[in-house]
Chain A
């Protein structure tokens, strides 16, 4: 039995619910750090921690398919949890921004309309809302696999917008946003049909 098979076999035995607990504990711990005074600028730091967690999870969700396609490791059973937790961190990021950072309804609206990097982030978030709403088994059954899959392709533009949002808010040339953006573009390129066919096609030697 190959390594991939062994990983698949043990992954099947693992439950997904601990992922939700870990996420909640992490979010709570970050909030507590914000309260505790260890960060000089807790509002901005907490906002970034939640936003970065969301981006990392969205990227992790995008790796599930290529990992199966190219490595034969099937982690699909964790993908819903990854996506929902990403959505949870996006909500937390948005709440910290609106309630603790901007602090006023008129300024929130002005920022969404006037600041392109916020507009882009907000559009990305809105694209993800229907995906979170349609994540339960019963909705998937009701929609049917084709419609569901088509709707969930919204994740591609959404993650791309998330990457642009991060890139755009940086001052000067900063490594992290560029790295995230590059990974996102690579993961999207890996999904292109032609490339996929070319890589996985059997070759005569």
Chain B
């Protein structure tokens, strides 16, 4: 475990349900929201509590298993996760293939309680278990011209109803600039709430990049490829105006079809109030410097 970034939230923040119901009321009263938008950043996350395991595992986007939010939890049991391995290739000195078991036994996991902001303007707070992606990337020596990494999700047409229907150009692919990939907030997650990663959440291993829209946090990965140019990414290829390569959470840049200024935190019921979306999803202090000199309204 690299410990480059210390999680100020501990297991004690995984609040029992009875306690967080009271806190929700406090938040809903507006006091909480006000304090949050002033303090921003990590302070905000300390006033939040994770969503329930049920919410996290039954409200998902995983188009390989259908486009409905409840489709992945119904269909993802078919995902074949054994055996599983990840190939690390592209612009590296020696490509390697690691089995999931090798990976799981090589890296010690820690809990990371992150905000998760979907591009569709809803959000959750999720207690991931994982380790920093940088630790895995350190297993290979990239060539000097490597600037990006591309990730690829498994394709199992027989087991994936969305792949059969051709909802997207599968395999699903995502990518990061190398410095984003090596950022201590970027993790490979293997579990939620201390449980092995549920299939619908991207078993057995997935990326989590908490300051970007959720679709960048690619699930069930089988390949990591180092490249010198910006790699193909699935949503950008489908609609570059709507889904940029960076896709940093940004309340000031709207999705062409809806506003990104506010979001709805899942779990507040039928009368749930919207809350302000935070720049970089509340991780501005940690990641803003990655984008120094960039016009984030143009390079979306």
Contact = CB atoms under 8 A, between A and B. Distances in A.
Contact of B55 (A40, A44, A100, A116): A40
A107 B238 CA distance: 28
Interface string B48-66: 0000001100110001000
A37 interface: yes
Contacts of B236: none
B168 A41 contact: no
Interface in A108-157: 110-111, 114-117
Majority DSSP secondary structure for residues of B touching A? loop
A48 to B, nearest CB: 10
A175 interface: yes
Interface residues on B, range: 20 to 34
Given A171-B120, A172-B238, A110 B270 contact: no
Interface residues on A, range: 20 to 34
A46 B273 CA distance: 16
Interface string A87-107: 000000000000010010001
A46 B272 CA distance: 13
B271 A115 contact: no
A110 B59 contact: no
B158 interface: no
Interface string B151-170: 00000000000000111100
Interface of A: 34-35, 37, 40-44, 46, 100, 103, 107, 110-111, 114-117, 168-175
Given A35-B270, A107-B259, 9 more contacts: A40-B266, A107-B262, A111-B258, A111-B259, A116-B257, A169-B257, A172-B167, A173-B165, A173-B166
